[in-house]
Structure formats: structure tokens, C-alpha cells
Amino acid sequence: MPIAEMERRQVVVIGAGPSGAIAAALLKRQGHDVLVVERQLFPRFSIGESLLSHCLDFVEEAGMLDAVNAAGFQMKNGAAFAWGDRCSHFDFGDTFSNGKPTTFQVERASFDKLLADQAALQGVEIRYQEEIIAVDFDAAKPTLRARRADGSLYSVEADFVLDASGYGRVLPRFLDLEAPSSFPVRHAVFTHIEDRIDDPRFDRLKILITTHPVHRDVWFWLIPFSNGRCSLGVVGAVEKIKDKPADFDACLRAFIAEAPELERLLHAAVWDTPARTIEGYSANVKSLHGKGFALLGNAAEFLDPVFSSGVTIAMRSASMAAAVLKRQLQGETVDWESEFAVPLKRGVDTFRAYVEGWYDGSFQDVIFHPGSSPEIRRMISSILAGYAWDEGNPFVSEPKRRLRMIAQICASSAP
Ligand code: FAD
């Protein structure tokens, strides 16, 4: 099919999710010309509903905090963990990093649309239902080929491309950048329900992470929304899921039946939405940048959902990339590796250490230990609130060593 049109833009962002909307708004605020190409029509469903405090720092930087605060999302002030009769909670108002004390739990369809609309209000052009279907990075400037909903094609030449395509992973696929994740393939089965939780001890201001009573590497999330509904899901490796019913609703309910506290909490729930599944979501890339492009959010790497770090990493990458790109567009020489990739990965690697510790049980030992010191809990709380780049926090600067040390102390003083 002949290419009908060719246009030239300064920056093209692929995808209008959290990383794309934040990056586009930040660049537009610096006076740059930005086009966002998004293949879906918003609002659209996305998983990833529990936010960390740190992501609001980027929402604020992009001039969107008032709109998010006014949207009526469920406030979140921390994270609660349960394993049988053990429970432990962390308060984002009491952290080492003294960051934002609260954040939100959001239905992503509304949240992502709000961010994209805010970017558009600031002058960003967003084209919905247009998909990037091919790329050419061999010429002096990158060219992207896009397909509209009616099937017509056009090309865009850009000074720079930010890939914020999430699981679409447009540039990793086209430029052969994909690399295996260090995490095994896990499945998540999830739904939204009207939860009707009537236990007065239940705290709707926190995400509840419940460890499976027998399999410590299987866990559930319960994320309350402001409308009496919640997101509910289970995560487990394939060998833990294979004996469960193939039907997703039956599979999720079978897992919940194995976790008596969770089942009790949800005894009156109305299951009104078909469950879904996503598997093999952990992903990595060989490089976060190259000539004429950088990768943001899930288009680069996705670790694991257990600490709800995805949107925060996505927005942090958007903010860091926008700052480097702004200087490059002004004619400065920049080094994407040392100014973007290395510092971004530092925080990602902090989360990685705790995700590994979650699945090998050491971080769970620390979290559920009844005697851990308030100072240590404040350092851990900082990371759970998203401040995984705060090098002043010893649990950030030396995550593996600190976790090993504290896990050994907890194991030797286990009740
Ligand atoms: P996305 O939000 O995926 O946005 C990418 C956009 O790009 C999409 O709108 C897509 O339509 C568009 N796109 C794709 N391909 C193309 C193309 N070819 N052309 C044009 N547009 C395209 N994170 C949290 O912070 N909290 C949580 O509680 C949480 N829970 C999770 C639970 C599970 C089971 C999983 C798997 C993930 C979870 N996450 C969570 C992670 C979170 O979903 C992602 O990290 C986050 O959505 C990444 O944002 P993004 O902007 O990079 O990409």
C-alpha cells in the first residue's frame, strides 16, 4: 500500500499510558513539539491500580496533581501484608525519605485517561486509535510508520522517539532489543468485584497483600477503590496454577478458598466481572536508549507486580528522559547511558533486590517479624512508598547486603 503522507515532528511518543502522558507533558511544558500516537481509544482497561507516593512527584512535575487530587480516587496511605494470622503494615506517612504521605488506588481506565487529557490540555497532540506498525532508525532521523483506524497509513520523521508503548514493546521488538527477564514466568489472574467488606478492621486506605498459607511464592492483591469495589488478583508460577480450573473465575475463587482470612473478608462480595489473566509479564531489554530513541516504563523493563512499582518506575523514567532530551534538543551533548540509563536502573535494581527477597522468603521474614525496629521499618516503608532512588537510605544504597543482614537477624530471633 502506498504511503500517502509524511510529516515531520520534533518528538514522537509511542503510547499514551502513564509514562507517555507524563513525558509528553513535560516536554510540551519546555516548549517542544510533541506528538503522541496511541493505538487504543481511551478510556481503556489496564492492570496496575495501586500507586506509590513517589509517582505523585512526577504527576506534580507535569502540572497534573490538582486534577488527580480532585478526581475522587481512593486515597492510599500505605501497604498491609498478611500471612495466616500474621499481619504487618507500613505507613507512607512514616518513612525515612519523608516523601508524599499519601497516594491513590485508581481504576486505570479513568486514571490514564485523566493524565492523557491533562497532557492534551497542555497542548500535546494525542492521536488515538493509531498504531505504530514499522520503524526505520537507519536514516539520519528516525521515521515511524503509523496506521489509522480506517487502515490508512502515514509516516512521521522525528528528531527523537520516546517508546512508551508498555507491553506493546514497539522498539524492543523492531530493533531487536528484547532480553530475557531474570524472573521466572508467573501468571496473574484477576478481576474487579463489589467487595462489600464489612470487617471493621479492614483498612481501605491500604493495599492488602496476602501470602498464600502454604506456598509463600503465591500471593494475592486486594486494592480497594473509592466506589465500594476493588481489584483482586492472585500471582503464582505456572506449576502452582496448572492444577487449578482452566476457567479464570473458577481458578481465582479456588485460590481464594485456600486463603481463609481473605475468603472471610470477601464473604459477601458480588463477583460481577469476568476474571482475566496475564502471564509472562516480566521483561527486559539490552539497552534503554540508542541513536534517536529512549525506552520508558514497561517498554523497557517490567519486574514484578508485588510492590506496585510499575507506574512509579514508568513515570520516573519519563521524567528523567524528558530532562535529558530537553538538553539534547537545546543543542547540548548528552550521555544517555550515564545520565538516564545508569541512574534509572539504580532504583529499579533496588526494587529488584526486594522482589527477589519476596519470592525467596527473606523479605517476607523481615516484614512479618514482630520485633523489627521502627527505624528499619521506616527505611523499608520508604521503598514501599516508591523512594527507591534515595541513596541516603541504607536499604537503597546496599539493598542486597542490608536485606541479607536483617533477614539473618530475623531468622535467628524468630518467635
Ligand atoms: P502502559 O500503561 O502499558 O501504556 C502503554 C500504551 O502504549 C498503551 O495504552 C498501549 O495501547 C500503547 N501502545 C502499545 N503499542 C502501541 C503501538 N504499536 N502504537 C501506539 N500505541 C501503542 N503497577 C503499579 O504501579 N501498581 C500496581 O498495582 C501494579 N499492578 C500490576 C499487576 C500486574 C499483574 C501487572 C502485570 C502489572 C502491574 N503493574 C502495576 C505494572 C503496570 O501495569 C505498568 O508498569 C504500567 O502500566 C506501565 O506504564 P507504561 O506507561 O509504561 O505502559
> Which residue of 13, 37, 38, 45 sits with most ligand 1 atoms within 8 Å of its CB, as the best mutation to test the pocket?
38
Distance 104 CA to ligand 1 centre (A): 17
CA 15–ligand 1 middle distance (angstroms):
9
* CB-CB neighbours of 69 under 10 Å: 15
Closest residue by CA, ligand 1 atom 40:
48
Average pLDDT, the chain: 96
pLDDT of residue 414: 67
Q: What pLDDT, on a 0 to 100 scale, did the predictor assign at position 415?
A: 63
Q: What predicted TM-score, i.e. pTM, was given to this entire model? A: 0.97
Task: In whole angstroms, give the CA distance from residue 58 to residue 259.
Answer: 37
Asked if 37 and 14 touch (Cβ cutoff 8 Å), the reply is yes
Q: Is 370 exposed, middle or buried (0-12, 13-18, 19+ CB in 10 A)?
A: exposed
What are the structural domains of the chain?
Answer: 6-75+103-180+282-346 (3.50.50.60), 186-279 (3.30.9.100), 359-412 (no CATH)
pLDDT mean over 173-200: 95
pLDDT for the residue numbered 368: 94
Tell me the average pLDDT across 141-167: 98
| pLDDT value at 2 more than 60 | no
Q: What tens digit of pLDDT does each residue of 214-270 get?
A: 999 999 999 999 999 999 999 999 999 989 999 999 999 999 999 999 999 999 999
pLDDT mean over 343-351: 97
Hey, what's the cell of 382? Answer: 520508604
Ligand 1 atom nearest to CA at 167: 3
The predicted pLDDT at position 178 comes to 94
pLDDT tens-digit series, residues 79-114: 999 999 999 999 999 999 999 999 999 999 999 999
Q: Facing residues of 189 across strands?
A: 234, 277
Mean pLDDT of 305-322: 98
What does the pLDDT read at residue 16?
98
DSSP 270: B
Distance 394 CA to ligand 1 centre (A): 30
Residues with Cβ within 6 A of ligand 1? 14-20, 37-40, 46-51, 131-132, 164-168, 170, 188, 278, 281, 296-299, 302, 305, 308, 310-312, 314
Q: Which of 35, 39, 189, 277 to mutate to test the pocket of ligand 1 (most atoms within 8 A of CB)?
A: 39
| Residue whose CB lies within 8 A of the most ligand 1 atoms, among 35, 46, 316, for a mutation test | 46
pLDDT at 323: 98
Output the pLDDT for position 102: 98
Does 205 score more than 60 pLDDT? yes
Percentage of residues of the chain with pLDDT beyond 90: 93
| Nearest-angstrom CA–CA distance, 199 and 264 | 9
Q: In the predicted model, is pLDDT for residue 402 greater than 60? A: yes
Per-residue pLDDT of 18-47, as tens digits, reads: 999 999 999 999 999 999 999 999 999 999
Pocket test for ligand 1, best of 232, 298, 315 (most atoms within 8 A of CB): 298
Render the burial of 234-271: b for 16+ CB within 10 Å, e for the rest. Answer: bbbbeebbeebeeebeebbbbbbebbebbeebbeebee
The predicted pLDDT at position 1 comes to: 44
